[in-house]
A and B are shown apart, each in its own frame.
Chain A
Amino acid sequence: MSWPEFGIIAFRVVVTFVLLLVVTVINVWAERKILADMQSRIGPSRAGPWGILQTVADGLKLFFKESVIPRKVELGMYLLAPFLAIIPAFLIFMMVPWGKPFMIGDHEVALQGADLNIGLLFILAMSSMAVYGVVLAGWSSGSKYPLLGAVRATAQAISYEAAMGLAMVAVVVFTATQGEGGTLSMAEIVERQTGTWGDISPVLSFVPRWNLFPQFVAFVIFLVAIVAETNRAPFDLVEAEQELVGGFHTEYSGMRFAMFFLAEYVNIFSMSAIAATLFLGGWAGPTFEGSLPGLISGSLPTIYFLIKTYAIVFIFFWLRATLPRLRYDQLMTLGWKRLIPAALTWLVISTVAIGFRQFGAPWS
Protein backbone atom coordinates (compact mmCIF):
# COMPACT_ATOMS: atom_id res chain seq x y z
CA MET A 1 0.00 0.00 0.00
CA SER A 2 1.42 3.35 -1.03
CA TRP A 3 1.47 6.46 1.16
CA PRO A 4 -1.29 8.41 -0.68
CA GLU A 5 -3.64 5.42 -0.39
CA PHE A 6 -2.87 5.09 3.30
CA GLY A 7 -3.47 8.82 3.74
CA ILE A 8 -6.85 8.58 1.98
CA ILE A 9 -7.98 5.72 4.22
CA ALA A 10 -6.89 7.57 7.36
CA PHE A 11 -8.68 10.69 6.10
CA ARG A 12 -11.90 8.75 5.43
CA VAL A 13 -11.98 7.14 8.86
CA VAL A 14 -11.10 10.28 10.81
CA VAL A 15 -13.55 12.51 8.92
CA THR A 16 -16.37 9.97 9.28
CA PHE A 17 -15.67 9.68 13.00
CA VAL A 18 -15.62 13.45 13.52
CA LEU A 19 -18.80 13.90 11.46
CA LEU A 20 -20.55 11.31 13.61
CA LEU A 21 -19.44 12.98 16.86
CA VAL A 22 -20.51 16.43 15.70
CA VAL A 23 -23.96 15.35 14.51
CA THR A 24 -24.47 13.38 17.73
CA VAL A 25 -23.77 16.43 19.85
CA ILE A 26 -26.21 18.39 17.68
CA ASN A 27 -28.80 15.60 17.88
CA VAL A 28 -28.90 15.60 21.68
CA TRP A 29 -29.57 19.34 21.59
CA ALA A 30 -32.04 19.02 18.68
CA GLU A 31 -34.06 16.39 20.50
CA ARG A 32 -34.46 18.61 23.57
CA LYS A 33 -35.32 21.60 21.41
CA ILE A 34 -37.86 19.70 19.24
CA LEU A 35 -39.48 18.02 22.25
CA ALA A 36 -39.74 21.40 23.95
CA ASP A 37 -41.32 22.91 20.86
CA MET A 38 -43.86 20.09 20.63
CA GLN A 39 -44.79 20.65 24.27
CA SER A 40 -44.91 24.47 23.96
CA ARG A 41 -41.78 24.97 26.03
CA ILE A 42 -38.59 26.81 25.16
CA GLY A 43 -36.03 24.11 25.94
CA PRO A 44 -32.30 24.78 26.44
CA SER A 45 -31.69 28.46 25.68
CA ARG A 46 -28.87 29.74 27.90
CA ALA A 47 -25.66 28.06 26.71
CA GLY A 48 -24.72 29.66 23.39
CA PRO A 49 -27.17 30.91 20.74
CA TRP A 50 -30.49 28.96 21.00
CA GLY A 51 -28.81 26.83 23.67
CA ILE A 52 -26.77 25.00 21.06
CA LEU A 53 -23.86 24.53 23.46
CA GLN A 54 -26.07 22.77 26.03
CA THR A 55 -24.74 19.31 25.08
CA VAL A 56 -21.16 20.51 25.42
CA ALA A 57 -21.97 21.89 28.87
CA ASP A 58 -23.65 18.62 29.90
CA GLY A 59 -20.73 16.61 28.55
CA LEU A 60 -18.23 18.68 30.52
CA LYS A 61 -20.31 18.23 33.67
CA LEU A 62 -20.41 14.46 33.24
CA PHE A 63 -16.70 14.42 32.47
CA PHE A 64 -15.79 16.05 35.77
CA LYS A 65 -18.35 14.12 37.80
CA GLU A 66 -17.22 11.34 40.10
CA SER A 67 -17.73 7.91 38.56
CA VAL A 68 -19.13 5.97 41.50
CA ILE A 69 -18.49 2.22 41.47
CA PRO A 70 -20.95 0.37 43.72
CA ARG A 71 -19.50 -2.26 46.05
CA LYS A 72 -21.35 -5.29 44.65
CA VAL A 73 -20.36 -4.93 41.00
CA GLU A 74 -18.46 -7.54 39.00
CA LEU A 75 -15.61 -5.14 38.28
CA GLY A 76 -14.13 -6.36 34.98
CA MET A 77 -17.44 -6.63 33.18
CA TYR A 78 -18.73 -3.43 34.77
CA LEU A 79 -15.82 -1.44 33.36
CA LEU A 80 -15.93 -3.17 29.98
CA ALA A 81 -19.68 -2.77 29.31
CA PRO A 82 -19.73 0.95 28.31
CA PHE A 83 -17.06 0.26 25.67
CA LEU A 84 -18.98 -2.72 24.32
CA ALA A 85 -21.97 -0.42 23.92
CA ILE A 86 -20.15 2.37 22.13
CA ILE A 87 -17.75 0.54 19.79
CA PRO A 88 -20.40 -1.24 17.65
CA ALA A 89 -22.35 2.03 17.47
CA PHE A 90 -19.36 3.76 15.85
CA LEU A 91 -18.46 0.82 13.62
CA ILE A 92 -21.97 0.71 12.12
CA PHE A 93 -21.65 4.26 10.84
CA MET A 94 -18.31 3.45 9.19
CA MET A 95 -20.27 1.49 6.55
CA VAL A 96 -22.51 4.40 5.54
CA PRO A 97 -21.53 6.38 2.42
CA TRP A 98 -22.25 10.01 3.29
CA GLY A 99 -21.12 11.77 0.11
CA LYS A 100 -20.31 11.29 -3.55
CA PRO A 101 -16.82 9.89 -4.21
CA PHE A 102 -14.46 12.49 -5.71
CA MET A 103 -11.03 12.39 -7.30
CA ILE A 104 -7.77 13.85 -5.99
CA GLY A 105 -5.29 13.45 -8.82
CA ASP A 106 -5.78 9.83 -9.89
CA HIS A 107 -6.91 8.57 -6.47
CA GLU A 108 -10.60 8.15 -5.77
CA VAL A 109 -11.73 9.32 -2.33
CA ALA A 110 -14.94 7.66 -1.19
CA LEU A 111 -16.72 9.57 1.57
CA GLN A 112 -17.35 6.50 3.68
CA GLY A 113 -15.41 4.90 6.53
CA ALA A 114 -14.98 1.60 4.70
CA ASP A 115 -16.76 -0.04 1.80
CA LEU A 116 -16.97 -3.74 2.57
CA ASN A 117 -18.35 -6.15 0.01
CA ILE A 118 -20.65 -7.47 2.70
CA GLY A 119 -21.47 -4.04 4.20
CA LEU A 120 -25.07 -4.82 5.08
CA LEU A 121 -24.13 -8.07 6.79
CA PHE A 122 -21.51 -6.22 8.83
CA ILE A 123 -24.16 -3.71 9.91
CA LEU A 124 -26.45 -6.53 11.05
CA ALA A 125 -23.60 -8.25 12.89
CA MET A 126 -22.60 -5.05 14.70
CA SER A 127 -26.16 -4.14 15.64
CA SER A 128 -26.54 -7.58 17.18
CA MET A 129 -23.25 -7.08 19.08
CA ALA A 130 -24.57 -3.84 20.56
CA VAL A 131 -26.80 -5.76 22.96
CA TYR A 132 -23.74 -7.09 24.83
CA GLY A 133 -23.04 -3.66 26.31
CA VAL A 134 -26.55 -3.53 27.77
CA VAL A 135 -26.64 -7.15 28.94
CA LEU A 136 -23.24 -7.02 30.66
CA ALA A 137 -23.96 -3.63 32.21
CA GLY A 138 -27.18 -5.00 33.66
CA TRP A 139 -25.70 -8.24 34.87
CA SER A 140 -22.43 -6.89 36.31
CA SER A 141 -24.11 -4.10 38.28
CA GLY A 142 -25.20 -6.67 40.89
CA SER A 143 -28.52 -4.93 41.37
CA LYS A 144 -32.03 -5.95 40.40
CA TYR A 145 -33.23 -2.99 38.30
CA PRO A 146 -30.32 -3.08 35.86
CA LEU A 147 -30.74 -6.85 35.57
CA LEU A 148 -34.43 -6.50 34.67
CA GLY A 149 -33.54 -3.83 32.15
CA ALA A 150 -30.90 -6.11 30.63
CA VAL A 151 -33.34 -9.02 30.32
CA ARG A 152 -35.84 -6.78 28.57
CA ALA A 153 -33.14 -5.43 26.26
CA THR A 154 -32.02 -8.91 25.21
CA ALA A 155 -35.51 -10.12 24.38
CA GLN A 156 -36.31 -6.93 22.52
CA ALA A 157 -33.10 -6.88 20.48
CA ILE A 158 -33.51 -10.48 19.35
CA SER A 159 -37.17 -10.02 18.47
CA TYR A 160 -36.80 -6.94 16.33
CA GLU A 161 -33.49 -7.86 14.71
CA ALA A 162 -35.25 -10.59 12.73
CA ALA A 163 -37.77 -8.15 11.26
CA MET A 164 -35.01 -5.65 10.51
CA GLY A 165 -32.94 -8.30 8.73
CA LEU A 166 -35.91 -9.50 6.67
CA ALA A 167 -36.72 -5.94 5.58
CA MET A 168 -33.07 -5.56 4.50
CA VAL A 169 -33.26 -8.84 2.53
CA ALA A 170 -36.23 -7.52 0.54
CA VAL A 171 -34.16 -4.46 -0.38
CA VAL A 172 -31.13 -6.58 -1.31
CA VAL A 173 -33.25 -8.79 -3.59
CA PHE A 174 -34.76 -5.73 -5.23
CA THR A 175 -31.36 -4.02 -5.62
CA ALA A 176 -30.02 -7.10 -7.42
CA THR A 177 -32.44 -6.38 -10.28
CA GLN A 178 -31.31 -2.77 -10.59
CA GLY A 179 -27.84 -3.48 -11.91
CA GLU A 180 -25.30 -6.17 -12.73
CA GLY A 181 -25.83 -8.96 -10.19
CA GLY A 182 -26.60 -8.72 -6.49
CA THR A 183 -24.67 -6.65 -3.98
CA LEU A 184 -24.42 -6.11 -0.23
CA SER A 185 -22.14 -3.09 -0.52
CA MET A 186 -23.64 0.13 0.79
CA ALA A 187 -21.85 2.28 -1.80
CA GLU A 188 -23.23 0.13 -4.62
CA ILE A 189 -26.77 0.23 -3.19
CA VAL A 190 -26.68 4.05 -3.24
CA GLU A 191 -25.15 4.04 -6.73
CA ARG A 192 -28.14 2.05 -8.01
CA GLN A 193 -30.63 4.55 -6.61
CA THR A 194 -29.29 7.51 -8.60
CA GLY A 195 -31.48 8.88 -11.40
CA THR A 196 -35.24 8.66 -11.74
CA TRP A 197 -37.93 6.11 -12.58
CA GLY A 198 -38.28 7.75 -16.01
CA ASP A 199 -37.43 4.50 -17.85
CA ILE A 200 -40.60 2.82 -16.55
CA SER A 201 -42.98 5.56 -17.63
CA PRO A 202 -42.30 9.16 -18.74
CA VAL A 203 -44.76 10.33 -16.08
CA LEU A 204 -42.32 9.13 -13.41
CA SER A 205 -39.32 11.00 -14.80
CA PHE A 206 -39.45 13.44 -11.87
CA VAL A 207 -39.66 10.69 -9.25
CA PRO A 208 -36.22 9.80 -7.85
CA ARG A 209 -35.13 6.19 -8.23
CA TRP A 210 -35.31 5.47 -4.48
CA ASN A 211 -36.07 2.04 -3.09
CA LEU A 212 -38.71 3.74 -0.97
CA PHE A 213 -41.34 3.54 -3.70
CA PRO A 214 -41.13 -0.14 -4.73
CA GLN A 215 -40.22 -1.23 -1.18
CA PHE A 216 -42.52 0.97 0.89
CA VAL A 217 -43.72 -1.90 3.10
CA ALA A 218 -40.14 -2.90 3.86
CA PHE A 219 -39.40 0.74 4.74
CA VAL A 220 -42.22 0.86 7.31
CA ILE A 221 -41.12 -2.46 8.85
CA PHE A 222 -37.50 -1.29 8.92
CA LEU A 223 -38.47 1.98 10.57
CA VAL A 224 -40.42 0.24 13.35
CA ALA A 225 -37.58 -2.24 13.85
CA ILE A 226 -34.84 0.40 14.14
CA VAL A 227 -36.85 2.37 16.72
CA ALA A 228 -37.10 -0.84 18.74
CA GLU A 229 -33.42 -1.74 18.16
CA THR A 230 -32.26 1.60 19.52
CA ASN A 231 -34.56 1.20 22.56
CA ARG A 232 -36.34 4.46 21.89
CA ALA A 233 -39.89 5.48 22.77
CA PRO A 234 -42.41 3.86 22.41
CA PHE A 235 -40.14 0.81 22.79
CA ASP A 236 -38.02 2.15 25.66
CA LEU A 237 -39.00 -0.49 28.20
CA VAL A 238 -35.30 -1.10 28.74
CA GLU A 239 -35.00 2.16 30.64
CA ALA A 240 -38.56 2.72 31.82
CA GLU A 241 -38.05 5.22 34.65
CA GLN A 242 -41.32 4.45 36.40
CA GLU A 243 -40.58 0.74 36.67
CA LEU A 244 -36.82 0.27 36.52
CA VAL A 245 -35.28 3.52 37.85
CA GLY A 246 -32.78 3.98 34.99
CA GLY A 247 -32.80 0.46 33.59
CA PHE A 248 -29.48 -1.14 32.66
CA HIS A 249 -27.43 1.98 33.44
CA THR A 250 -28.87 2.63 36.92
CA GLU A 251 -25.54 1.92 38.64
CA TYR A 252 -23.44 3.97 36.21
CA SER A 253 -22.52 7.58 36.74
CA GLY A 254 -20.20 10.24 35.36
CA MET A 255 -18.20 9.41 32.24
CA ARG A 256 -19.37 5.79 32.13
CA PHE A 257 -22.99 6.86 32.03
CA ALA A 258 -22.10 9.42 29.37
CA MET A 259 -20.76 6.62 27.17
CA PHE A 260 -24.09 4.75 27.26
CA PHE A 261 -25.88 8.00 26.55
CA LEU A 262 -23.57 8.77 23.63
CA ALA A 263 -23.97 5.23 22.28
CA GLU A 264 -27.75 5.65 22.22
CA TYR A 265 -27.57 8.86 20.19
CA VAL A 266 -24.85 7.53 17.87
CA ASN A 267 -27.10 4.53 17.23
CA ILE A 268 -30.09 6.73 16.41
CA PHE A 269 -28.07 8.63 13.85
CA SER A 270 -26.39 5.52 12.38
CA MET A 271 -29.67 3.65 12.03
CA SER A 272 -31.37 6.67 10.47
CA ALA A 273 -28.45 7.00 8.07
CA ILE A 274 -28.81 3.33 7.12
CA ALA A 275 -32.56 3.76 6.55
CA ALA A 276 -31.83 6.82 4.40
CA THR A 277 -29.20 4.88 2.45
CA LEU A 278 -31.32 1.80 1.85
CA PHE A 279 -34.63 3.48 1.07
CA LEU A 280 -34.11 7.19 0.35
CA GLY A 281 -31.12 6.94 -1.95
CA GLY A 282 -28.42 8.09 0.50
CA TRP A 283 -26.48 10.94 -1.10
CA ALA A 284 -28.22 10.54 -4.49
CA GLY A 285 -29.81 13.71 -5.87
CA PRO A 286 -29.38 16.34 -8.57
CA THR A 287 -25.90 17.91 -8.33
CA PHE A 288 -26.20 20.35 -11.30
CA GLU A 289 -22.64 19.55 -12.27
CA GLY A 290 -21.31 22.13 -14.73
CA SER A 291 -23.83 24.86 -13.95
CA LEU A 292 -22.70 25.30 -10.34
CA PRO A 293 -19.17 25.82 -8.97
CA GLY A 294 -17.41 22.48 -8.39
CA LEU A 295 -17.20 22.92 -4.63
CA ILE A 296 -20.97 23.42 -4.28
CA SER A 297 -22.01 20.60 -6.61
CA GLY A 298 -19.47 18.35 -4.87
CA SER A 299 -20.87 19.02 -1.41
CA LEU A 300 -24.54 18.87 -2.42
CA PRO A 301 -24.68 15.02 -2.09
CA THR A 302 -23.51 15.28 1.53
CA ILE A 303 -26.21 17.88 2.16
CA TYR A 304 -28.85 15.60 0.58
CA PHE A 305 -27.64 12.75 2.76
CA LEU A 306 -27.89 14.87 5.91
CA ILE A 307 -31.38 16.15 5.00
CA LYS A 308 -32.67 12.61 4.38
CA THR A 309 -31.08 11.27 7.55
CA TYR A 310 -32.42 14.11 9.66
CA ALA A 311 -35.91 13.51 8.26
CA ILE A 312 -35.74 10.06 9.85
CA VAL A 313 -34.04 11.30 13.03
CA PHE A 314 -36.94 13.74 13.32
CA ILE A 315 -39.39 10.80 13.22
CA PHE A 316 -37.56 9.32 16.23
CA PHE A 317 -38.02 12.55 18.22
CA TRP A 318 -41.59 12.96 17.00
CA LEU A 319 -42.50 9.44 18.15
CA ARG A 320 -41.04 10.12 21.57
CA ALA A 321 -43.16 13.23 21.98
CA THR A 322 -46.30 11.49 20.69
CA LEU A 323 -46.62 7.87 21.75
CA PRO A 324 -46.90 6.33 25.23
CA ARG A 325 -44.72 3.34 26.08
CA LEU A 326 -45.91 -0.12 25.06
CA ARG A 327 -46.70 -2.78 27.64
CA TYR A 328 -44.22 -5.66 27.57
CA ASP A 329 -46.58 -8.26 26.10
CA GLN A 330 -47.69 -5.75 23.47
CA LEU A 331 -44.03 -5.28 22.52
CA MET A 332 -43.54 -9.01 22.06
CA THR A 333 -46.85 -9.44 20.20
CA LEU A 334 -45.97 -6.64 17.82
CA GLY A 335 -42.52 -8.07 17.19
CA TRP A 336 -43.28 -11.76 16.73
CA LYS A 337 -46.92 -11.88 15.65
CA ARG A 338 -47.17 -8.77 13.50
CA LEU A 339 -43.80 -7.50 12.30
CA ILE A 340 -42.02 -10.76 11.44
CA PRO A 341 -45.02 -12.30 9.58
CA ALA A 342 -45.52 -8.99 7.77
CA ALA A 343 -41.83 -8.88 6.80
CA LEU A 344 -41.89 -12.51 5.60
CA THR A 345 -45.07 -11.97 3.58
CA TRP A 346 -43.66 -8.84 2.01
CA LEU A 347 -40.42 -10.64 1.18
CA VAL A 348 -42.37 -13.41 -0.63
CA ILE A 349 -44.63 -10.95 -2.48
CA SER A 350 -41.76 -8.71 -3.51
CA THR A 351 -39.54 -11.63 -4.60
CA VAL A 352 -42.34 -13.24 -6.64
CA ALA A 353 -43.09 -9.92 -8.32
CA ILE A 354 -39.40 -9.40 -9.13
CA GLY A 355 -39.18 -12.97 -10.45
CA PHE A 356 -42.11 -12.36 -12.79
CA ARG A 357 -40.55 -9.18 -14.12
CA GLN A 358 -37.13 -10.77 -14.58
CA PHE A 359 -37.98 -14.21 -15.94
CA GLY A 360 -41.64 -14.04 -16.92
CA ALA A 361 -44.36 -16.32 -15.61
CA PRO A 362 -43.22 -19.91 -14.90
CA TRP A 363 -45.95 -21.37 -17.18
CA SER A 364 -45.07 -19.27 -20.22
Chain B
Amino acid sequence: MTFVDWISAPVNWVFTIIGLVVIFSGFRVVTSRNIVHAALYLVGALGGTAGLFLMLSAEFVAWVLVLVYIGAVIVLFLFGIMITRAPTGLDESLNSDHTALPALLASGFFLMMSWASIDAFGTQVIDSTGEPVPTEIIGESLFGRFVIPFEVVSFVLLAALIGGITLARRDLSPAEEEERSAV
Protein backbone atom coordinates (compact mmCIF):
# COMPACT_ATOMS: atom_id res chain seq x y z
CA MET B 1 0.00 0.00 0.00
CA THR B 2 1.41 3.39 -0.95
CA PHE B 3 1.26 6.44 1.26
CA VAL B 4 -1.30 8.08 -1.04
CA ASP B 5 -3.60 5.06 -0.70
CA TRP B 6 -3.15 5.10 3.04
CA ILE B 7 -3.87 8.79 3.51
CA SER B 8 -6.90 8.81 1.20
CA ALA B 9 -8.92 6.65 3.61
CA PRO B 10 -10.89 8.90 6.02
CA VAL B 11 -10.14 6.54 8.93
CA ASN B 12 -6.46 7.28 8.55
CA TRP B 13 -7.02 11.05 8.60
CA VAL B 14 -8.81 10.70 11.90
CA PHE B 15 -6.04 8.46 13.19
CA THR B 16 -3.38 10.97 12.08
CA ILE B 17 -5.18 13.91 13.68
CA ILE B 18 -5.74 12.09 16.99
CA GLY B 19 -2.16 10.81 16.95
CA LEU B 20 -0.79 14.33 16.43
CA VAL B 21 -2.97 15.64 19.27
CA VAL B 22 -1.71 12.91 21.59
CA ILE B 23 1.95 13.51 20.67
CA PHE B 24 1.64 17.28 21.01
CA SER B 25 -0.16 17.00 24.37
CA GLY B 26 2.38 14.52 25.67
CA PHE B 27 5.20 16.84 24.64
CA ARG B 28 3.55 19.83 26.32
CA VAL B 29 2.99 17.86 29.56
CA VAL B 30 6.73 17.74 30.09
CA THR B 31 7.62 21.16 28.67
CA SER B 32 4.81 23.31 30.08
CA ARG B 33 5.91 25.69 32.82
CA ASN B 34 2.48 25.90 34.40
CA ILE B 35 1.66 22.85 36.47
CA VAL B 36 -2.12 23.05 35.99
CA HIS B 37 -1.64 23.39 32.23
CA ALA B 38 0.61 20.33 32.31
CA ALA B 39 -2.14 18.34 34.05
CA LEU B 40 -4.66 19.52 31.44
CA TYR B 41 -2.38 18.54 28.56
CA LEU B 42 -2.28 15.10 30.16
CA VAL B 43 -6.09 15.11 29.89
CA GLY B 44 -5.67 15.85 26.18
CA ALA B 45 -3.22 12.99 25.74
CA LEU B 46 -5.48 10.53 27.57
CA GLY B 47 -8.57 11.78 25.76
CA GLY B 48 -6.81 11.19 22.44
CA THR B 49 -5.89 7.68 23.53
CA ALA B 50 -9.53 7.03 24.43
CA GLY B 51 -10.39 8.29 20.93
CA LEU B 52 -8.00 5.73 19.41
CA PHE B 53 -9.71 2.95 21.38
CA LEU B 54 -13.09 4.20 20.13
CA MET B 55 -11.75 3.96 16.56
CA LEU B 56 -11.05 0.26 17.25
CA SER B 57 -14.67 -0.08 18.49
CA ALA B 58 -13.32 -0.82 21.96
CA GLU B 59 -16.01 1.29 23.63
CA PHE B 60 -15.59 -0.26 27.05
CA VAL B 61 -11.83 0.37 27.27
CA ALA B 62 -12.25 3.91 25.93
CA TRP B 63 -14.85 4.95 28.50
CA VAL B 64 -13.06 3.20 31.34
CA LEU B 65 -9.99 5.23 30.38
CA VAL B 66 -12.05 8.42 30.55
CA LEU B 67 -13.69 7.40 33.83
CA VAL B 68 -10.57 6.26 35.68
CA TYR B 69 -7.77 8.44 34.32
CA ILE B 70 -9.45 11.67 33.23
CA GLY B 71 -12.29 11.52 35.74
CA ALA B 72 -10.40 10.38 38.81
CA VAL B 73 -6.60 10.33 38.55
CA ILE B 74 -6.09 13.77 36.98
CA VAL B 75 -8.83 15.28 39.13
CA LEU B 76 -6.82 14.01 42.11
CA PHE B 77 -3.66 15.59 40.63
CA LEU B 78 -5.48 18.92 40.34
CA PHE B 79 -6.83 18.49 43.86
CA GLY B 80 -3.33 17.82 45.16
CA ILE B 81 -1.95 20.88 43.35
CA MET B 82 -4.71 23.10 44.70
CA ILE B 83 -4.51 22.08 48.35
CA THR B 84 -0.74 22.45 48.39
CA ARG B 85 0.32 25.49 46.36
CA ALA B 86 -2.34 26.50 43.84
CA PRO B 87 0.10 28.45 41.65
CA THR B 88 -1.62 30.53 39.01
CA GLY B 89 1.43 31.82 37.16
CA LEU B 90 4.52 30.28 35.59
CA ASP B 91 6.88 28.24 37.69
CA GLU B 92 10.49 28.25 36.46
CA SER B 93 11.51 25.54 38.92
CA LEU B 94 9.03 23.16 37.33
CA ASN B 95 11.36 22.02 34.58
CA SER B 96 14.41 20.03 35.52
CA ASP B 97 17.78 20.53 33.80
CA HIS B 98 18.44 16.80 33.93
CA THR B 99 16.94 15.91 30.57
CA ALA B 100 19.44 13.43 29.14
CA LEU B 101 18.70 10.39 31.30
CA PRO B 102 14.88 10.70 31.20
CA ALA B 103 15.04 11.21 27.42
CA LEU B 104 17.18 8.10 27.08
CA LEU B 105 14.84 6.09 29.31
CA ALA B 106 11.75 7.31 27.45
CA SER B 107 13.14 6.57 24.01
CA GLY B 108 14.40 3.19 25.19
CA PHE B 109 10.93 2.35 26.48
CA PHE B 110 9.40 3.57 23.21
CA LEU B 111 11.75 1.39 21.16
CA MET B 112 11.05 -1.61 23.38
CA MET B 113 7.27 -1.23 23.07
CA SER B 114 7.48 -0.66 19.29
CA TRP B 115 9.67 -3.70 18.87
CA ALA B 116 7.36 -5.81 21.04
CA SER B 117 4.21 -4.82 19.14
CA ILE B 118 5.83 -5.16 15.70
CA ASP B 119 7.26 -8.54 16.69
CA ALA B 120 3.91 -9.73 18.03
CA PHE B 121 1.56 -8.42 15.34
CA GLY B 122 3.74 -7.50 12.35
CA THR B 123 1.61 -6.24 9.48
CA GLN B 124 -1.51 -7.91 10.83
CA VAL B 125 -4.56 -5.64 10.45
CA ILE B 126 -7.20 -5.52 13.18
CA ASP B 127 -10.44 -6.44 11.49
CA SER B 128 -12.71 -3.74 12.85
CA THR B 129 -16.28 -4.34 11.74
CA GLY B 130 -17.52 -1.19 13.44
CA GLU B 131 -19.56 -3.26 15.88
CA PRO B 132 -18.55 -2.54 19.47
CA VAL B 133 -16.82 -5.36 21.33
CA PRO B 134 -19.26 -6.85 23.86
CA THR B 135 -18.29 -6.09 27.46
CA GLU B 136 -18.96 -9.74 28.27
CA ILE B 137 -15.89 -10.87 26.30
CA ILE B 138 -13.66 -8.45 28.20
CA GLY B 139 -15.09 -9.68 31.51
CA GLU B 140 -14.59 -13.32 30.55
CA SER B 141 -10.95 -12.88 29.53
CA LEU B 142 -10.22 -10.65 32.54
CA PHE B 143 -11.63 -13.12 35.06
CA GLY B 144 -10.70 -16.24 33.08
CA ARG B 145 -7.44 -16.24 31.19
CA PHE B 146 -5.92 -13.16 32.84
CA VAL B 147 -7.22 -13.66 36.36
CA ILE B 148 -3.75 -14.10 37.93
CA PRO B 149 -2.24 -10.90 36.44
CA PHE B 150 -5.46 -9.11 37.38
CA GLU B 151 -5.14 -10.19 41.00
CA VAL B 152 -1.43 -9.32 41.05
CA VAL B 153 -2.20 -5.80 39.81
CA SER B 154 -4.88 -5.35 42.48
CA PHE B 155 -2.41 -6.61 45.10
CA VAL B 156 0.17 -4.03 43.96
CA LEU B 157 -2.48 -1.32 44.21
CA LEU B 158 -3.36 -2.47 47.73
CA ALA B 159 0.32 -2.32 48.70
CA ALA B 160 0.57 1.20 47.24
CA LEU B 161 -2.52 2.22 49.20
CA ILE B 162 -1.15 0.93 52.50
CA GLY B 163 2.23 2.51 51.73
CA GLY B 164 0.56 5.85 51.02
CA ILE B 165 -1.34 5.78 54.30
CA THR B 166 1.79 4.80 56.24
CA LEU B 167 3.81 7.65 54.70
CA ALA B 168 1.14 10.28 55.16
CA ARG B 169 0.08 9.26 58.64
CA ARG B 170 1.73 10.83 61.65
CA ASP B 171 1.18 9.12 64.98
CA LEU B 172 -0.49 11.51 67.36
CA SER B 173 0.88 12.20 70.81
CA PRO B 174 -1.51 11.23 73.68
CA ALA B 175 -2.43 14.89 74.23
CA GLU B 176 -3.32 15.37 70.56
CA GLU B 177 -5.25 12.12 70.58
CA GLU B 178 -7.38 13.41 73.44
CA GLU B 179 -7.96 16.69 71.67
CA ARG B 180 -9.00 14.87 68.51
CA SER B 181 -11.50 12.64 70.29
CA ALA B 182 -13.00 15.63 72.11
CA VAL B 183 -14.13 17.08 68.78
Task: Name A129's contact: one of B70, B83, B139 (CB within 8 Å).
Answer: B70
Taking residues whose C-beta sits less than 8 angstroms from the other chain, chain A's interface range is 20 to 34
CA distance A208 to B60 in the complex (A): 31
Q: B43 to chain A: which residues have CB within 8 Å? A: 132
Residue-by-residue, is B41-80 near A (CB-CB < 8 Å gives 1, otherwise 0)? 0010000000000000001100110110011100110110
Q: Determine if A125 is an interface residue (Cβ-Cβ < 8 Å).
A: yes
Q: Mark B27-46, 1 if CB is under 8 A from A, else 0.
A: 00000000010001001000
CB pair A139 B79 closer than 8 Å = no
Determine whether A220 belongs to the interface, using a CB cutoff of 8 Å to chain B. Answer: no
B10 to chain A, nearest CB (A): 14
Given contacts A118-B59, A125-B63, contact A158 B136 (CB under 8 A): no
B82 and A147 contact, CB distance less than 8 A = yes
Q: Is the CB of A151 within 8 A of B67?
A: no
Contacts of B40 in A (CB 8 A): 77, 136
Contact (Cβ within 8 A) B79 A142: no
Select which of B36, B64, B135 is within 8 A of A139 by beta carbon.
B36
Tell whether, in the assembled complex, residue B60 and residue A131 are in contact, meaning their CB atoms are under 8 Å apart: no
Q: Does A181 touch B at the CB level, under 8 Å?
A: yes
- Which B residue's beta carbon lies closest to that of A150? B82
Question: Are A157 and B75 touching (Cβ within 8 A)?
Answer: yes
Whether B36 contacts A125 by the Cβ 8 Å rule is no
A121 at the interface (CB under 8 A from B): yes
Nearest residue in B to A140 (C-beta to C-beta)?
Answer: B88
A243 at the interface (CB under 8 A from B): no
B88 near A139 (CB under 8 angstroms)? yes
Residues of A within 8 A of B76 (CB): 154, 158
On chain B, the number of residues with a Cβ less than 8 Å from chain A's Cβ atoms is 25
CB-CB < 8 A to A142: which residues of B?
88
B60 interface neighbour in A121, A147, A151, Cβ under 8 Å: A121
Closest chain-A Cβ to B164's Cβ sits at a distance in Å of 15
Bound CA–CA A131/B70 (angstroms): 10
Q: How far is the CA of A184 from the CA of B83 in the complex (A)?
A: 36
Whether A135 sits at the interface, judged by CB under 8 Å, is yes
- CA of A313 to CA of B72, assembled, Å: 27
The reply to whether A117 and B75 contact each other, CB–CB distance below 8 Å, is no
* CB pair A117 B135 closer than 8 Å: yes
| Interchain CB contact under 8 A, A124 and B67 | yes
Given A129-B70, A135-B78, A158-B79, residue A118 in contact with residue B63 (CB < 8 A)? yes
**A-facing residues in B74-115 (Cβ within 8 Å):** 75-76, 78-79, 82-83, 86, 88
CB distance from A274 to the nearest CB of B (A): 15
Q: By the criterion CB–CB under 8 Å, are B88 and A151 in contact? A: no
Cβ–Cβ < 8 Å partners of B82 in chain A:
135, 138-139, 147, 150-151, 154
B86 CB to nearest A CB, Å: 6
A253 at the interface (CB under 8 A from B): no
Measured CB to CB, the closest approach of chain B to A189, in angstroms, equals 14
Q: How far is the CB of B160 from chain A (nearest CB, A)?
A: 17
Q: Is the CB of A117 within 8 A of B66?
A: no
Cβ of B136 and Cβ of A128 under 8 Å apart? no
B149 sits at the interface (CB 8 A): no
Closest 10 CB pairs of A and B: A128-B71, A125-B67, A154-B79, A125-B66, A125-B63, A121-B63, A151-B82, A117-B132, A118-B59, A118-B60
Please give the residue numbers on chain A whose beta carbons come within 8 Å of chain B beta carbons, in ascending order.
72, 74, 77, 116-118, 121-122, 124-125, 128-129, 131-132, 135-136, 138-139, 142, 147, 150-151, 154-155, 157-158, 161, 181-182, 184
Q: List 10 A-B contacts (CB under 8 A).
A: A118-B59, A125-B63, A128-B75, A129-B70, A131-B75, A135-B78, A147-B82, A151-B79, A158-B76, A181-B136
